[in-house]
Amino acid sequence: MLTSKQHELLVFIDQHLRKTGCSPSFEEMKDALDLRSKSGIHRLITALEERGFLRRHKHRARALEVVRLSEDLTPPEREIPRFAPNVIHGNFPGKFKAPKAANESALGNLGEAGSITLPLYGKIAAGLPIEALQDDHAAEIEVPVNLLGSGDHFALEVEGESMIEAGILNGDTVIIRRGETAENGQIIVALVDENEVTLKRLRRRGNSIALEPANVRFETKILPADRVKIQGRLVALLRKY
């Protein structure tokens, strides 16, 4: 089974061969996949060779041959705009407070400076999954109200580097709009197998769901849809210096 990046590269090489009669350059492949360096392309090509999808002819420049196309994934969807984080820098109100009583509403607790108190559930892995979020929480955080729309929201601290190419860094605080649905390409909090939670980009593949990182060093996880539950989607993030 191929990752989404491996599949995307295989399709690009095949289309380039059909159109021009020669394989694309590493620079063309890097630009097509929006990667930062050619080393990522080298790793992808090596993985495709090992899986029997590509053949590289030695002693010949730009000599890649597509042996077969993948049937594991559907063709890539139409391009979806990348998430552009709404980052608040500097000394935003970020003091943690003791939790409110369970019947108090965060939406009814606006601060004087136009801030709102949200529950901070702790850390979420943007690399490997961590234990599922608990209903109870031990901290809260104040967030500028103009970052939020309608609905219920909560905050999580990011731990890991798998979403760095989407502008989400280790130590950032992400603001999540709670919900069980999301559009293809949106960044979501996903609950896997009822006990693990992770922050990834959502891709639907027929009866499967792909949890896609934004870092070429990490693999996409493709799971049956009944093993994944959407907990909410990313709407903003906070960053301290």
Q: Tell me how far apart the alpha carbons of residues 144 and 2 are, in angstroms, rounded to a whole number.
A: 41
Considering only CA atoms, give the Rg of the chain: 21
Question: Is 162 among the catalytic positions?
Answer: yes
Which of 4, 23, 115, 162 is flagged as catalytic? 162
- Reading the block at residue 212, the tokens are 């896609």
Best CA proximity match to 168, nearest among 190, 200, 204: 200
Q: Quote the strand ranges of the chain, DSSP E.
A: 54-56, 64-66, 87-88, 115-125, 130-131, 139-144, 153-159, 173-178, 187-192, 196-205, 208-212, 221-224, 228-238
Which of 200, 208, 221, 240 is flagged as catalytic? 200
Question: Is 25 among the catalytic positions?
Answer: no
Helix or strand (DSSP H, E) at 48: helix 38-50
Helix or strand (DSSP H, E) at 4: helix 4-20
Name the 3-class secondary structure at 191. strand
Helix or strand (DSSP H, E) at 26: helix 26-32
Q: Tell me how far apart the alpha carbons of residues 239 and 241 are, in angstroms, rounded to a whole number.
A: 7
Q: Tell me how far apart the alpha carbons of residues 187 and 230 are, in angstroms, rounded to a whole number.
A: 10
In degrees rounded to 5, what are phi and psi of residue 199?
-105, 115
Active site positions, annotated = 162, 200
